[in-house]
Structure 1
């Protein structure tokens, strides 16, 4: 049953000639049960085992839990599914994830229907709403209203918001949208014609190139469009050779552990990168300006949201170094309000072993194009290691005064090693750093759903499909 669930196999696999031959070779005395036995007996049994373990995990001392949710519709059967994935930080500061639901969602996708479904899902898992930190959702109005009606704090998926900004700022440019449309035609030509692809492959080999397929883009993922154009540019010589001999439909001339703490620093670094002029900007200045305006518009309220602000300040890679002075003061008041009076009793000198190590500036060659990584470094260098103390708790003073750890290190690793130095802050970190910044977990879940509900299993009931997905995604949590 684990083999069927983990490898997205149809129940009919136990009746396939090759599989039965393999089982007979491995153990001739073993009698394979019927596909019905696996579907009606084994699957519910293993589902209950995994579900019991997830219930036990959620019943432990978890201060807060964050969730992601999305709605998916199958291409091979008239089925829509509503997802719910959970994410929290355990007492040892390990990030824990579990899939709770990928259930059938029938009828209208109204806000009230989504809200009712959430109520039932939370009741199933005995989740108290007071323990819900945030729900990451898409930006659709029905989903936004559903979270409000349910009394749940929520925010839009950063990847989806960034997709909207790229669409507003880049794809709205006629020259770019035309280039993308041409690229899609070329890729589609080779994708849907085995003969055309074999010709391209032969040309690649003749030119001494590695035979590679062109990347297909997905309209809702700007990075997939980038990779498509990149693959076309990489294969431009092979495509030009093909175009000389064969007709083409068109010709083209010539980046899951991120948390809410990553949003503000990433947006600030992106804004700075787009506002910088570089020698390579020739021909794309208008596009950069339009993209900067779109990013500013889509993320204009980001620094007013306590979920993002507090998470950023409690991430030892960022702290409050990515905020302007007025935001820092407002944020400090929020942090002080969250801290207990006990935080002020901490000895300020306790744990200063790693404090105030100045960050060395990484030189960039003259004329080199700045990168997004360079923008993170610039912001940290401008703030400097010397931090004035305020009247807030000494524990918070010490934490904020220390130089942020390198971005290559993990925030949870820091809190795992320093939770005794800053006990009050560590508990806040468990709450605010458990929120992901995208709904990737739900989207990955639906990728699995498309493998379960495929052509071989297009008549599989939604109940069994959900159990298969649940087992596949959570089985590792039961293994030591």
Structure 2
């Protein structure tokens, strides 16, 4: 791993054996090889029979990496869920840790929707209808016959599950696809119908949830990077603002959207204050300074210089005698022109929205040369040149850029 850093995910209670009620504890290591290739390895997955207290979780964490001779000094940070027991466990082992962004996002969505009785009522009705079909083969066959008459594909209902991310969105989406067949089925069977005003709630929920589903998919992929968290969260906040700017007369879930915006703003208000998020975003050539105010950018650059100048605590390669020579060579290479832009290209949906945010801001302004009296003049010049180069397209791999530069 580069710089001897391992980034780990440590989670509990995410899988449960329904027949035994057993919980599983999982430890996964993420890193980058010396060839700038991503690596993700499940180091341990075991049943967790003890009480799920923070103290016991801390002890479990100490023993699991030790089996692989991984010392705490080699762990860059821990990504965990938002449970208070997980938070306490990581505090006890004295390691930098981060909330799982998607977990926080799903909690905010849940709170926003649970605040509105009309949404809760529609969800419960859809879940009852789903249960009716899932528990009856005869009902499923009847629905398929109706879909045949309508020349529609055989689509089953999808049931909402609180522990499955985006399942409410998937359930509502499936109901809209089988709307006509479902309406004909309810005419001849004793199950509740979905009324026009309830279909309106479903449609509005889908419109509101779609960007969040796409963001969840993006951040849950094997190629997800922490550098994308700040841009994605800012894009989602803008989508919420756009939604709330619409006329309210015909929208039955405007209040839910407003509460979701409040939840989101509160949960993610301090992202830029975390160097783990901010530095990663700034050093991603797809984003650079675009999501930061000038004062924040200066703080990020100062933090980067502090890391470079503190090789003992960071495992920096500066401790090597040849580091200065290779650093100057990289600086010279960085002067060469390189293709790449943040243009939208053929993007659609989620990435198109993010690309539009990047391009809608003011044109990239070149940063002037730093003060020659600065003790870190060489490094500051290197940061200026990095900042002034064109940003990569969103679909490009930033690790490939760093492999070359």
Would the aligned equivalents of 1:66 and 1:87 in 2 still touch at CA under 8 Å? yes
Q: Distance in 2 between matches of 1:99 and 1:346?
A: 37
Q: Which residue of 2 aligns with 1:119?
A: 62
Would the aligned equivalents of 2:344 and 2:352 in 1 still touch at CA under 8 Å? no
Q: Distance in 2 between matches of 1:413 and 1:347?
A: 15
Q: Which residue of 2 aligns with 1:16?
A: none
User: Which of residues 270, 273, 294 is equivalent to 1:325?
Assistant: 294
Q: Distance in 2 between matches of 1:280 and 1:131?
A: 53
Q: Structure 1, residues 103-127: CA drift from partner, whole Å, max 9, x if none? A: 2222211111111111111211100
Q: Distance in 2 between matches of 1:406 and 1:380?
A: 11
Q: Distance in 2 between matches of 1:348 and 1:136?
A: 33
SS in 2 for 1:307: helix
Q: Distance in 1 between matches of 2:50 and 2:149?
A: 55
Q: Which residue of 2 aligns with 1:248?
A: 191
User: 1:79 aligned to 2:22?
Assistant: yes
Q: Displacement, 1:101?
A: 0.7
Q: Which residue of 2 aligns with 1:147?
A: 90
Q: Displacement, 1:370?
A: 8.8
Q: Which residue of 1 aligns with 2:399?
A: 412
Q: Which residue of 1 aligns with 2:254?
A: 285
Q: How does 1:375-386 map to 2 (within 5 A)?
A: 375-386=354-365
Q: Structure 1, residues 383-435: CA drift from partner, whole Å, max 9, x if none? A: 4222213535222211111121011111222222x2xx3xxxxxxxxxxxxxx
Q: Distance in 2 between matches of 1:193 and 1:361?
A: 47
User: Which of residues 377, 381, 386 is equivalent to 1:399?
Assistant: 386
Q: Which residue of 2 aligns with 1:374?
A: 353
Q: Distance in 2 between matches of 1:103 and 1:362?
A: 45
Would the aligned equivalents of 2:342 and 2:393 in 1 still touch at CA under 8 Å? no
Would the aligned equivalents of 1:346 and 1:395 in 2 still touch at CA under 8 Å? no
Q: Which residue of 1 aligns with 2:202?
A: none
Q: Structure 1, residues 128-168: CA drift from partner, whole Å, max 9, x if none? A: 21110111111111110111101111111111100111122
Q: Kindly tell me: are residues 249 and 357 of structure 1, through their superposed partners in 2, closer, same or farther at Cα, counting changes over 3 Å?
A: closer
User: Which of residues 166, 174, 179 is equivalent to 2:109?
Assistant: 166
Q: Which of 1 and 2 has higher RCO (CA within 8 Å, sep 6+)?
A: 1
- Equivalent residue pairs, number: 355
Q: Distance in 2 between matches of 1:302 and 1:384?
A: 24
Q: Kindly tell me: are residues 102 and 276 of structure 1, through their superposed partners in 2, closer, same or farther at Cα, counting changes over 3 Å?
A: same
User: Which of residues 377, 389, 393 is equivalent to 2:368?
Assistant: 389
Q: Kindly tell me: are residues 100 and 385 of structure 1, through their superposed partners in 2, closer, same or farther at Cα, counting changes over 3 Å?
A: same
Would the aligned equivalents of 1:348 and 1:395 in 2 still touch at CA under 8 Å? yes
Q: Distance in 1 between matches of 2:237 and 2:2?
A: 40
Q: Which residue of 1 aligns with 2:161?
A: 218
Q: Kindly tell me: are residues 404 and 244 of structure 1, through their superposed partners in 2, closer, same or farther at Cα, counting changes over 3 Å?
A: same
Q: Displacement, 1:355?
A: 5.5
Would the aligned equivalents of 2:9 and 2:80 in 1 still touch at CA under 8 Å? yes
Larger Rg: 1
Q: Kindly tell me: are residues 397 and 82 of structure 1, through their superposed partners in 2, closer, same or farther at Cα, counting changes over 3 Å?
A: same
Q: Which residue of 2 aligns with 1:199?
A: 142
User: 1:185 aligned to 2:122?
Assistant: no
Q: Kindly tell me: are residues 112 and 363 of structure 1, through their superposed partners in 2, closer, same or farther at Cα, counting changes over 3 Å?
A: closer
Q: Distance in 1 between matches of 2:34 and 2:388?
A: 26
Q: Kindly tell me: are residues 200 and 173 of structure 1, through their superposed partners in 2, closer, same or farther at Cα, counting changes over 3 Å?
A: same
Q: Kindly tell me: are residues 276 and 414 of structure 1, through their superposed partners in 2, closer, same or farther at Cα, counting changes over 3 Å?
A: same
User: Which of residues 269, 274, 280 is equivalent to 2:235?
Assistant: 269
TM-score by length of 1: 0.68
Q: How does 1:437-448 map to 2 (within 5 A)?
A: none
Moved more, 166-175 or 383-392: 383-392
User: 1:351 aligned to 2:338?
Assistant: no
Q: Structure 1, residues 187-243: CA drift from partner, whole Å, max 9, x if none? A: 111111111111111101111101111122221345111011010011110000001
Q: Kindly tell me: are residues 116 and 363 of structure 1, through their superposed partners in 2, closer, same or farther at Cα, counting changes over 3 Å?
A: closer
Moved more, 98-107 or 344-353: 344-353
Would the aligned equivalents of 2:341 and 2:393 in 1 still touch at CA under 8 Å? no
Q: Distance in 2 between matches of 1:160 and 1:347?
A: 39
